[in-house]
Chains A and B, each alone.
Chain A
Amino acid sequence: MTLFIEQCLNGLQFGLLLFMLAAGLTLVFGIMDLVNLAHGSLYMLGAYFAATFAAFTGSFILGAVLALAATLLVGMAVEVIALRRLYGRDHLDHVLGTFGLILFFDEAVRLIWGPEGLSLPLPSWLNASIQVLPGVQYSAYRFSIIVVTLFVAAGLYILVMRTRVGMLIRAGASNREMVGALGVNIKLLYTLVFGLGAALAGLAGLMQAPILTVQIGMGENILILAFVITVIGGIGSVRGALVAALLVGFIDTLGRSYLPDILRELLSPAAASTLAPALSSMLIYLLMAIVLIFKPEGLFAAGRK
């Protein structure tokens, strides 16, 4: 039972982290109708900035805050310089153009930080385990990720549902022309939304950095997962992204932990060990295919044709 609780916590942590990445993606996708493959690059930049600033200032927290600001700025700069020109174009053009950006960012990072990648060591008070429930020891750092992402998710909810900017964002996701007609400075709104998405991606990246390594191309694998979540949840729907992110997080973690044991009953241990991780990764795509076959616009379509 403790094992199950712990695995659920792991799933929750992974799901919430994916949500940070998917929330920005779904907003940009929903409001600007832009397929942004370079979102993963911002995730990578967040991690690189955090590792650099943490080493420079000697403080993990300070490094993280500086990294967030830096990612936000880079995101807005990218929007103003390049992506703004892609609005209203074909999705195919978006995919290609932002793919070009991925190559550019990967190589720029290689030029600046070298090919080996960095590491972001945790302060010792996070490098331990704490008791989260009676009898359940859990990694203090992973628990803090859960707490931070829950706060950010709540903040995002308030921003989108309770503020004027949020109203424009929601309006933009369901009817873009209308917002423009209302005389809102749409260019500025777009830049701000993109910056917000970038900062969220950067946050995901810097929180993953101590668990994974900080390396070139780290955003590419997780980017596809974020896209899957965006599509399952319905493009433009932050709520859908949250539900889908948690679904994916739980499927991935529980699949990895329980599938090998189930398969071992049926197959040789070697065959089961190879099949299990592949199968749990596959389940996510299966989920997406099934959702799209029955609900072609995702679980929570934002009401836009």
Chain B
Amino acid sequence: MMPALTLRNIVVGALMVALILLPVYAQLADDRFLMTLFTRIIILALAAVSLNLILGFGGMMSFGHAAYLGIGGYAVGMLAKEGIMNGFIQWPVALGASALFALIVGALSLRTRGVYFIMITLAFAQMAYYVVSGIARYGGDDGLTIYKRSQFFEPLNLSNKTQFYYLCLAILFGAIYLVRRLVNSRFGMVIQGARSNDVRMRAIGFSPYRYKLVAFVIAGTLCGLAGALLANHTDFVSPSVMYWTRSGDLIIMVVLGGMGTVIGPVIGAVTLLVLEEVLSGITEYWQIILGPLLLLVVLFARGGIDGLLTQLGERLRRGRPS
């Protein structure tokens, strides 16, 4: 089925094309930093997409999602420090560790709800934060420099900026596709059903707990992958990557872009990080603009930017005689 040519779809399509063509522009403009910036945006967008699976579709407000960024990153960093550079070992370890952590946290946290769920996920993330800050061998608070990026087969070379950019972009597109398939499957229906009415789902014979737990683990694993990418991108990993404010940033990306649409978090990540870069270039006091802006989005634009675009498109269409 071809997607309809609405304003929202045009914007999303333009965004995708822009992301694909960005390295070409960066090459022409001789601006390597643009690549660095956008690689980072894409990786954080991946993290936001993974959070959206549980937050937007499952209604599970995890306030500790950044923990997986750190776990994925530290898996790569610690193995590199011990001399194991092989990506075929590093990445599965990163994914496995994230999945395991998500399984434990999810199994314990999903028994609580509401604000208690928010706080218990926060508690586990903070524990992970303090564990890595406490290990002197891996740099403690100071963080860990990664002197060599993950090694894969020739000719894939993660130190090549263009290759790494497209690798991250491909993984992001893959993740979007995966989440889309998941959400539209029976599994996704149960998750979304449980968000609006837990009791009814149980009454018709589903155990939402298990479904929620599986979604929680998938989201954690995807975010762990983002963490492995981020560590390779910055050649550095420090505990601050899993601090609670970073979890807050991820939530903001999701809500700003639009919860519960697959693309929303990508729009949110790009908007927030580009805005940050542009505004901080214009004025030192950029947060005084961003803060009230967030408050306004919460108060008046409940579907985030994605929702806003859809509404705007509909208004435009209705205004036009058809």
Contact = CB atoms under 8 A, between A and B. Distances in A.
- A contacts B directly (C-beta below 8 A): yes
A288 B135 contact: no
B137 interface: yes
B115 interface: yes
Contact of B292 (A104, A220, A275): A104
Contacts of A103: 287-288, 290-291, 294
Interface string A90-101: 011101110111
Given A235-B115, A281-B130, A282-B131, A106 B251 contact: no
B119 A228 contact: yes
Q: Is the interface of B mostly helix, strand, loop or mixed?
A: helix
Interface in B27-42: none
Given A100-B293, A100-B295, A111 B288 contact: yes
A91 B298 contact: no
Contacts of A104: 287-288, 291-292, 295
Given A85-B299, A103-B287, A275 B135 contact: yes
Given A97-B299, A285-B130, A274 B136 contact: yes
Contacts of B298: 86, 93, 96-97, 100
Nearest to B137: A271
A227 interface: yes
A274 B295 contact: no
A289 B141 CA distance: 23
B244 interface: yes
A298 B119 CA distance: 11
A95 B115 CA distance: 10
A276 B135 CA distance: 10
Contacts of B134: 274-279, 282
A45 B125 CA distance: 28
A92 B61 contact: yes
A278 B131 contact: yes
A158 interface: no
Interface in A254-305: 270-271, 273-279, 281-282, 285-286, 288-289, 292-293, 296-298
B112 to A, nearest CB: 5
A298 B123 CA distance: 14
B291 A102 contact: yes
Contacts of B287: 103-104, 106-107
A35 interface: yes
A146 B245 CA distance: 31
Nearest to A220: B245
Contacts of A274: 133-136, 140-141
B101 interface: no
Nearest to A282: B130
Given A100-B292, A103-B294, A275 B136 contact: yes
Interface of A: 29, 35, 82, 85-86, 91-93, 95-97, 99-108, 110-111, 220, 224, 227-228, 231, 235, 270-271, 273-279, 281-282, 285-286, 288-289, 292-293, 296-298
Interface of B: 55, 61, 63, 108, 111-112, 114-116, 118-120, 122-124, 126-127, 130-131, 133-137, 140-141, 244-245, 248, 251-252, 255, 285-288, 290-295, 297-299
Give 5 nearest A-B pairs by CB, closest first. Answer: A278-B134, A103-B291, A100-B294, A104-B291, A107-B288
29 contacts: A29-B115, A82-B295, A85-B299, A91-B61, A91-B115, A95-B61, A96-B252, A100-B293, A103-B291, A104-B292, A105-B291, A107-B286, A107-B287, A111-B288, A220-B245, A224-B126, A228-B119, A271-B137, A274-B141, A276-B134, A277-B134, A282-B130, A285-B123, A285-B126, A289-B120, A289-B123, A292-B116, A292-B123, A297-B116
